Structure formats: structure tokens, C-alpha cells
């Protein structure tokens, strides 16, 4: 796809859905979720460098513009294949590594998280801070403290998990359930 068409597409998706696209539509997101379900003795929820590594997405966004804008640079097919294999391998122990650290468009869509069609809301009177939602969060954020964070992919796991029904959706679209 031409880079200009790609940018316009990303802007439209960002405005309409924010990172909901990552949580509900992106096939690479679904693939990572399926691989993460594989039973393995080591599953890492979070670690010290995680917050810093998430800035790598900025670097990849710049790289994408540089590579796409320079016709002389052509990525060999093995570069794409090895990247996908690495993501699949890491996804066994870490939830959504591509979305957290690599996806340049995920970063652009994250800006749209500031104005997505659907937002989550935490009812602080119902929330007991039990932490169940944080354990289920695919992006390893703490939903009851960081709801609608730029890293949120609107997967809905926190809403489904909450035993107190403290998390709910709020939308300006008529076909999405309102609180």
C-alpha cells in the first residue's frame, strides 16, 4: 500500500476506534493471543525494562517512514519472516510483545485512544482494588488505575473479569451499549 494511503487509513482508524482495532480486528494481535494461550512454565507479566522498551515503537515508526520513503532500500523477505517468527516465539511467554514494543501503527492509533468511539469507565464505589483485571490485562496495564491508557487495546478482558462489575463501556456510537 502506498505510504500516503496507509497514513490516511491509520488516521481514520485512530479517530474512530483508537487502539480498539488492535484488540478486536488486527490478525497479528489475534495470533499473539492464541500463541500466549500455549501452556508454558514461564509467563512474564511485567519486568523492570518493560516501560522503557515500550518507547521502541517510536523508533520503529521513524524507521518505517525512512524505509518507505527511500525507494533504494528494499527489505529482504527473510527480514519479515524472521520478525514474525520472533514475535510468535516471544508471545509464548509474553502477552502481545508486537503491540507493546514494535507496532509503529499501534503507536499512531494510541494517539486516537484520547478520542476513541468507546471508552471504559471504572466505578470507584464498586471497585475493591482486588487486582483481577490487572492479572487479565493483555497489555499489562492496571485497568482500575490506568483505564483508557494509551496502551489499552480495548480487548474487554478487564470488563469481563471484574467480579464487582465495576468496569463498563461508554460510547458515543449508537450501536454500542451505553452505561
Q: Does 131 bind ligand SF4 (CB under 6 A)?
A: yes
Contact region with ligand SF4 (CB under 6 A), list: 24-32, 62-70, 75-83, 135-143: 135-143
Q: Does 138 bind ligand SF4 (CB under 6 A)?
A: yes
Q: Which of 16, 50, 156, 168 binds ligand SF4 (CB under 6 A)?
A: 156
The SS3 of residue 34 is helix
**Contact yes or no for 102/87 (Cβ under 8 A):** yes
Give Cβ neighbours of residue 160 (< 8 Å, ≥ 6 apart): 136
Cell numbers representing residue 108 in the block: 499512531
Q: Does 46 bind ligand SF4 (CB under 6 A)?
A: no
The SS3 of residue 127 is coil
Give Cβ neighbours of residue 96 (< 8 Å, ≥ 6 apart): 29, 32, 33, 36, 138, 139, 153
Q: Does 150 bind ligand SF4 (CB under 6 A)?
A: no
User: Using CB atoms within 10 A of its CB, is residue 124 exposed (0-12), middle (13-18) or buried (19+)?
Assistant: exposed
**Between 80 and 172, whose beta carbon lies closer to ligand SF4?**
172
Q: Does 155 bind ligand SF4 (CB under 6 A)?
A: yes
Contact region with ligand SF4 (CB under 6 A), list: 31-39, 70-78, 105-113, 164-172: 164-172
Binding footprint of ligand SF4 on the chain (CB under 6 A): 122, 127-133, 136-139, 141, 143-144, 152-158, 161-162, 164, 166-167
Amino acid at each position: 500500500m502506498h505510504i500516503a494511503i496507509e497514513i490516511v487509513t491509520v488516521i481514520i482508524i485512530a479517530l474512530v476506534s483508537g487502539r480498539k482495532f488492535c484488540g478486536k480486528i488486527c490478525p497479528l494481535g489475534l495470533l499473539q493471543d492464541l500463541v500466549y494461550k500455549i501452556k508454558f512454565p514461564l509467563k512474564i507479566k511485567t519486568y523492570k525494562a518493560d516501560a522503557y522498551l515500550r518507547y521502541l515503537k517510536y523508533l520503529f515508526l521513524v524507521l518505517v517512514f525512512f524505509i518507505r520513503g527511500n525507494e533504494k532500500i528494499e527489505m529482504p523477505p527473510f527480514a519479515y519472516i524472521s520478525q514474525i517468527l520472533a514475535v510468535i516465539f516471544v508471545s509464548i511467554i509474553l502477552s502481545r510483545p508486537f503491540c507493546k514494543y514494535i507496532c509503529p501503527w499501534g503507536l499512531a492509533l494510541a494517539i486516537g485512544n484520547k478520542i476513541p468511539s468507546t471508552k471504559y469507565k471504572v466505578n470507584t464505589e464498586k471497585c475493591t482494588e482486588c487486582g483481577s483485571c490487572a492479572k487479565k490485562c493483555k497489555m499489562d496495564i492496571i485497568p482500575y488505575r490506568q483505564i483508557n491508557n494509551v496502551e489499552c487495546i480495548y480487548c474487554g478482558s478487564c470488563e469481563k473479569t471484574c467480579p464487582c462489575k465495576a468496569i463498563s463501556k461508554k460510547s458515543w456510537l449508537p450501536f454500542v451499549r451505553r452505561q
